[in-house]
A and B are shown apart, each in its own frame.
Chain A
Amino acid sequence: AQSVTQPDIHITVSEGASLELRCNYSYGATPYLFWYVQSPGQGLQLLLKYFSGDTLVQGIKGFEAEFKRSQSSFNLRKPSVHWSDAAEYFCAVGAPDTGRRALTFGSGTRLQVQP
């Protein structure tokens, strides 16, 4: 069974600073990889996804993530954080060989942005 680890529960950055949120996964092959963002009182919005091919993927809101097979990682980055980026971020893994399409989520990283 797959698993996802987000080692940082809470991160605080200053507005305009760069951001990297860490995600490590455990899966026997190359999984499908996702980053979702959850703003307070809102549902989850897909930021970006990786299925195959180019290991650097671009998403919405200026986010990008890089798949590193050797490190089993899929870290999320943004070069300059905006106050509106304050939210909780979830990394998720999907298994290509299962029909039920259950995503396995990490426990989330809460991002706080200081002015």
Chain B
Amino acid sequence: EAQVTQNPRYLITVTGKKLTVTCSQNMNHEYMSWYRQDPGLGLRQIYYSMNVEVTDKGDVPEGYKVSRKEKRNFPLILESPSPNQTSLYFCASSRDRGGAGANVLTFGAGSRLTVL
């Protein structure tokens, strides 16, 4: 089944303890992206990657890192999590390199992170 898989789905951690949320897609998509969802704010883009080894900041990148060493994986790294990073995180991917179809995103099921 074509999908975007995120792990963990739920995580409670403490301030300052480094964590990684993994994202993997099996659709051979070039483009991948991370969003966070907060009540009343919708989803906001954190980072994106046009293809392997190419990543760039989105709208809310502070406090996050990413890497894209393989096409299928795009982990989100919180080096020193803080309570304001408590959120629901979504990974997404897209097949096309450009054009309208490139905007059609396939989303993972989400990872709910709580930082105490």
Q: Which residues of A contact B (CB under 8 A)?
A: 4, 32, 34, 36, 41-46, 49, 51-52, 90, 92, 94, 96, 99-108
Contacts and interface: CB of A to CB of B under 8 A. Distances in A.
A103 B48 contact: no
Given A96-B100, A99-B50, A102-B48, A43 B110 contact: yes
A102 B102 CA distance: 10
Contacts of A96: 100
A36 B104 CA distance: 11
A92 B31 CA distance: 18
Contacts of A41: 109-110
Contact of B43 (A32, A42, A45, A103): A103
Given A101-B102, A102-B58, A42 B48 contact: no
B109 A105 contact: no
A44 B107 contact: yes
A101 B107 contact: no
B103 interface: yes
Contact of B105 (A42, A52, A103): A103
B59 A43 contact: no
B90 A102 contact: no
A4, A100, A104, A108 interface centre (most CB from chain B within 10 Å): A100
Given A96-B100, A100-B58, A101-B33, A107 B90 contact: no
19 contacts: A4-B42, A34-B103, A42-B110, A43-B4, A43-B109, A43-B110, A46-B104, A52-B100, A94-B103, A96-B100, A100-B48, A100-B50, A101-B31, A101-B105, A102-B59, A103-B45, A104-B42, A105-B42, A106-B42
Given A42-B109, A94-B103, A102 B33 contact: yes
Contact of A32 (B4, B56, B100, B110): B100
B108 interface: yes
A107 B100 contact: no
Nearest to A95: B103
